[in-house]
Structure 1
């Protein structure tokens, strides 16, 4: 018999009842150190007092009115994002998947309004992940994502990750945009080098294309800057944001320049819940923290300390781990053994980690984790690796 919750997830047998900071408490009382943050969502940790206060205060005033009316909290958050980024305008969604849908629509509408409706194609990269809607799985293009869901939405050209010549060759007269993640999350914490991002920006400028960045996972302070592309000194034309922007409350956004968004006039897109007062009140509070220069400096410091200790773990447990990947507090451990074995062993040592492609285990902790949390996480990871190593060497 099918369960009441559609069984599309391989869920771990863990039920968390509450959390605080970097810690989660299981129903049986065990305390887990959360180095996954709900897949890079809980940027300020669990039950952050400022976020709790912002949500409850707004909940006592107004939850929802729809986008038929002006929403002051939405306008305030949009103003703050525009002030802090390249963008001139923002559309709020409920998720990264919805942000992807709009980004694709926005790029195609731009060219249609410019008198080039043939420029529908978007170049994307292997190993990418942009969500699970029809446009998002077509953009990723992997067999795992699209199998059984045909016909696949046309208009996407896939290039091997890191193939610079391939992406240039993929641009044709029907190409309108390039879409990529500065750091691939689901793809295995693969960081696009700064010079590559700069090259893609130059290519878009040369060919007159739009550059779309997916910063759903790597944005909102996770790399030690507000957005990951800032390290390369470039700006996109369109950017997808979600996860950390709501600190755990469902919220996403598409940020764009005035030019890129010029085709999106009244009636071209909409959302019943997107940008509701609750989500935007929380998002405003998140921005107060993650856009602060001192906060970001601390993220960089803690990221450096964590990475240094992880490099030591890799050197010690070379039969379990191959290398450390990533930037800031978006880190991955490339595994020698199956990454699922490592994640399971982490659970057994009351540590939360997240699997990814390319046999990688992701570490995506709250940006607010303490030095004590870092030390404890590395201690538990060391014990985890020892257990995995012993198990792998045990006779069958």
Structure 2
């Protein structure tokens, strides 16, 4: 029997499970219960029970299995207490039978399939796009409501209410928990791809204190591989997988000592994952040959130019700027405009970039990278005072200590004018 554990040890163990396994466990619960709210409430009940029981009995050998079994039993209790007990008697009987079978969530492939089903459920056309993406990030990615609210620049309460309404709408509309047949893919595929990429992005540049979350990135890649097996000739699915693989190839070189960000300019390219680059490039070529270039394919093409450059100085910035032109034509977006400006700053010089930067300032006033880019361009132009002010704005908007530390270092490197 495991030894008793302190409250801090238990809290740390639960936080780790929620971060790394919460999305998968919740997906499996939704599959069993067919009710988002009941699944999430029961999972929270199980976490609260863990806080008490694990301090007395210690963290179990299989904490995820313990949480799943406890959540199922909490769901049984909730159904028994519910006013709609009679209407849910069939579900209750099935749940009790399942609980008696002692099924444990140990099969990664099965869970991954359940997660993809949950993404398709969340991305039903009956749900508003932004809400469906937010709901999926909460349920699949295991992101906290406050993290999602911060990403959307809304209050915690507003986002929480939006998520509750979305869950209720899924129940009222009778949206099935399933991957639809080919006739239903087109209505959902764009949203599904957006969700998978947002999960990857949250891991690649996490908004929480953990700047790089490899678990989320790997999960996004795994889900995209499953989707590609489901829809094997879809160019944008191939493009998204290529894009994520090319970004992942730089993982090892992006972070130095604890809390240290290493920018693309300073990364040791000999440490990049060449097999990952080769796989990503091959997928990209295959996608582009289909003659239907889309947003993810074009973004992957930009990542491929970076991956193929022998050094930062040897990067073909003019080609990158041209690809951004095509990308903006396909999907107008001020963030893409900002990235194009960065490419122009190296292709044609910081003066040309600064002129164009003012055109996106209003749209990106609350976007941290805008201020970081502006600070960098001003510093390269020798405008030290303005550069330091822009660095200060970027620091205020940073979500992690690693970002703040890096930007403060950049700011402090600038000598104050005499």
TM range (shorter): under 0.3
Instruction: Answer with 1 or 2: which has the greater Rg.
Output: 2
TM-score normalised by structure 2 residue count: 0.26
Q: Which structure shows the higher helix fraction?
A: 2
Q: Which structure shows the higher strand fraction?
A: 1
Higher relative contact order (CA 8 A, sep 6+): 1
TM-score normalised by structure 1 residue count: 0.27
